[in-house]
Amino acid sequence: MAGYHQNLDQQQAPAFFARGPSPLARLAFFSALSLALMATDSRLQYLGSLREHLMVVLQPLQLIANAPSMLYESTNEYFSTHHRLLNENQLLRKQALIQAISLQKMKTLQLENTNLRELLQANQSLEEFSQLGEILHVGRDPFTKKIIVNRGSVHHVVEGAAVVDAKGVIGQVTRTYPASSEVTLITDKSLTIPIQIERNGLRAIAFGHGRDNTLDLPFLPANVDIKPGDKLITSGIDGIYPKGLAVATVTNIQTTPDSPFARIICVPTGGIENHKQVLLVSISQLESTNSAVSSNQTTENTGTSVTAAETVKAPPMKASGQHKKITNGAPVTAIDSSTPNKPNAQD
């Protein structure tokens, strides 16, 4: 009985006397506040920096939350068998040999290409700056396709940078935080990527499908020259994605008599959901290339331009730097982007 009275004291008395504003008033106040926040965030973009600052506070909590899985992984790695390591080593050696050959050819071709472009007074192709990132975790909203990568604005990751893995494009950086950044995968409904059919050079735009891990090529006529098995590569006309990266393979084309458009379904070539490391590639921007150097491999500076920066400017999937570059003296004709491509961006 005494307990019951205590209970009454606890539950009822504050309800009548010490509750402050009525629940309805609180509801109205806080709902209005959240609606205002939502409007500000989605329409006006004032909250970007605030979000970045608050993320710093979240960082230690994130570390705590990641600790168990990290521990599990590192112990797993530690106890991996001798045999498996040997096998892996052999495989990697073989791969390196194969790639070294194509890399050698690539170097001569690139030199030749630069020379020819110079002769033609054409614009030099844009340089790229890349860094390795590790996937921290997938996005927390199960209905958007996002991943969080452990490189952020302190590592000079910029919004809009392309994200690739060993097999192709997997997405684009959509939001940067100080020590991490959010990558929207190409299969997300909100991401589009300008592509080109490798076989015939036809340009189109690929849309993420959202539900399953596929891409759509909408708004192409029913008689378009695309076959199953065609490879899609980035066209580079957006100035965001470097040119010529593999994106997807066409798997299925459906045409219905009552629709003027074909329904084209493609499967991404990159391992969208099964990699740990990714490469963040941004097309050369002066401020990022000039300062984000030391952590990466450096290249010889044999160019004649005055720049002091030594940067890794390699084609996105080749790890080693180039040895010789010819200074870009050609006029900037800017076919596709507002990205500065000035002479001193060369090495």
Partner 1 sequence: MHKTKLQTIYLSLLIAFICLLLPWSGVALKLRPDFVLLVIIFWILRAPNKCNIGTAWFIGLWVDLATGGVFGQHALAYTVTTFVAVIYQRRLVLFSNTQQLVYVLLLLLISQLTLLTVKTFAGNESLGWAYFLPSFTGVILWQTAVALGLNTSRPSRSK
Which residues are near partner 1 by CB under 8 A? 3, 6-7, 9-12, 14-15, 18-20, 23-24, 26-27, 30-31, 33-38, 40-42, 47, 51, 54-55, 58, 61-62, 64-66, 68-69, 136-143, 146, 175, 182, 189, 210
Query: Least separation, in Å, of the C-beta of 244 and partner 1?
Result: 31
Residue with tokens 């993420």: 208
| Pair type for strands 128-138 and 146-149 | antiparallel
Query: Least separation, in Å, of the C-beta of 20 and partner 1?
Result: 8
Query: Least separation, in Å, of the C-beta of 66 and partner 1?
Result: 6
CA-based end-to-end distance of the chain: 85
265 or 293, CB closer to partner 1? Answer: 265
61 or 101, CB closer to partner 1? Answer: 61
Q: Which residues pair with 193 in a beta bridge?
A: 206
Query: Least separation, in Å, of the C-beta of 186 and partner 1?
Result: 17
CA distances to 29, 76, 109, 314 from 115, in Å: 67, 50, 10, 17
Query: What type of residue sits at position 138?
Result: V
11 or 338, CB closer to partner 1? Answer: 11
User: Beta-carbon neighbour count of residue 41 at 10 Å?
Assistant: 14
65 or 91, CB closer to partner 1? Answer: 65
Query: Least separation, in Å, of the C-beta of 340 and partner 1?
Result: 30
Half-sphere CA count of 10, side-chain side, radius 13 A: 6
64 or 97, CB closer to partner 1? Answer: 64
Residues 6 or more apart from 244 whose CB is under 8 A from it? 233, 234, 236
